[in-house]
Structure 1
């Protein structure tokens, strides 16, 4: 069992904590360098968490639990227009990243008003490549209830946010609803906004825990963090990617930021626990920039 943690500290001597993670049999999930500061999301064997905390203290850094590390979340807004973005949706995105989440902003093509709102099949497939989807909707109860067609047939867990109180039974297709997060033309810095964001974090953690338990009933042959590590070590082209998180972990797979047509065979031949990755996973073209999407097969699905 692994614990997901976030290390926040300086770049100076940061190689020491990287080496310790490797020595303990852990994995680096995501790494961001901001000038002289380092943010490191990691998965560490539970029994060795104290050793990581001791090293962080020695380096004058901080360790915090990252319950959303290793997952990919879609933050969906009806449009990219200013009356939907950037305030509420972007602040939701930024806040979730503090807890280890890797999220992507998705603005639908047709959402300026109840009469023209819509979602395409391509957009549905793109959203369903993630672990969960958070729909950042508006401030009017009836408007939100009229837009359930945006998510009522999405095949991953859906969390809807909006300003008014709404009974979840009035939102077919939604797994959870969080109020207090409607269209706000400013940053979410006031007390009631922070409380709503904290509530959203609790709901996201609960939904992810439920999905992890469902996966554990029929798990893949190898966890996604092990697959991520194998790809990074065996595919030289990964080191040439300049995008953040070139191999992004998901609960049931990884997204590899390489062109599918050029690299899919190389990814399929990566060795994981004496098996080729193509034998234990579906490898397909992502809807996002023609990246490679690896979805791990469960044990019962592998012949």
Structure 2
């Protein structure tokens, strides 16, 4: 078992930390450098967390548990229009990244107005490629309730956000509701905004942790981070991808940012624990830019 951690500190001597992660059999999930500051998300064997904490203290940095690291979250906005996306949805995205999440943003094609809003099957399938969906809705209670059909049959956990307080039972299909995050025409920088964002992070972490606990009873055949590492070392084309996180970890697989038609056979032939990846996972075309989606089979799949 691995623990996902975030190191925050200086770039100076950070190579020593990376070498220690490798020596312990851990993995670097994501690395972000901001001038002289480094934010490093990692997965470490549970028994070696103390060693990472000691090394981080030596480097004058700090380590925190990052429950959302190694997961992919989608933030869904009713439209790409200016009054929906630029403020609350973007600030939610930025805030989640601070806690180790890899998130994508989707604007629905027909989300404006109660009477004309809608969601297509392709949009649903794209949303369901993620570990968790956050529907960032508006400021009016009845409008949010009326739009519950957008997510009432989404087959992954769903968090709904909006401005008013709404009982969860009035939102069929939602696993949680977080208020105080409506359609705000400014950045979310005030006290109530930050408290609402903190509540959203707490809710997302709780849902992802619950999902991880459920997966323990029927775990993937191999950990996604092992698959991620194997692809990065065995597929040279990964080195030419300029998009962030060319191999994005999920709770039950990875998203590979290579064209499916051109590279799926190479991904299928990646060797993991002495087997071809095609024997351990379903490899299919993603609804996102025709990327490659790898969903690892669970242990129960071996039972005939």
Residue ranges of structure 1 left out of the alignment (5+ in a row): none
Report the counterpart of residue 152 of structure 1 in structure 2: 152
What per-residue deviation string (whole Å, max 9, x for no partner) do you get for residues 118-166 of structure 1?
A: 1111111110000010000001000000101111111111100011111
Following superposition, the deviation at residue 301 of structure 1 comes to: 1.2
Number of aligned positions between the proteins: 303
Following superposition, the deviation at residue 35 of structure 1 comes to: 3.2
Contact 2:10–2:36 under 8 Å retained in 1 = yes
Contact 1:220–1:296 under 8 Å retained in 2 = yes
Following superposition, the deviation at residue 108 of structure 1 comes to: 0.7
Report the counterpart of residue 176 of structure 2 in structure 1: 176
SS in 2 for 1:147: helix
In 1: Cα distance, 2:46 partner to 2:209 partner = 17
In 2: Cα distance, 1:74 partner to 1:14 partner = 31
SS in 1 for 2:85: coil
Residue ranges of structure 2 left out of the alignment (5+ in a row): none
Within a 5 Å distance, the mapping from 1:85-234 to structure 2 comes to 85-234=85-234
SS in 1 for 2:263: helix
Within a 5 Å distance, the mapping from 1:1-303 to structure 2 comes to 1-302=1-302
In 1: Cα distance, 2:160 partner to 2:146 partner = 13
Following superposition, the deviation at residue 62 of structure 1 comes to: 2.4
Following superposition, the deviation at residue 210 of structure 1 comes to: 1.5
Contact 1:161–1:177 under 8 Å retained in 2 = yes
Following superposition, the deviation at residue 36 of structure 1 comes to: 3.2
Q: Extract structure 1 runs of 4+ deviating beyond 4 A.
A: none
Could you tell me the TM-score, scaled by structure 2's length? 0.97
In 1: Cα distance, 2:116 partner to 2:182 partner = 19
Moved more, 150-159 or 12-21: 12-21
Q: What value does the CA root-mean-square deviation take over the aligned residues? A: 1.2
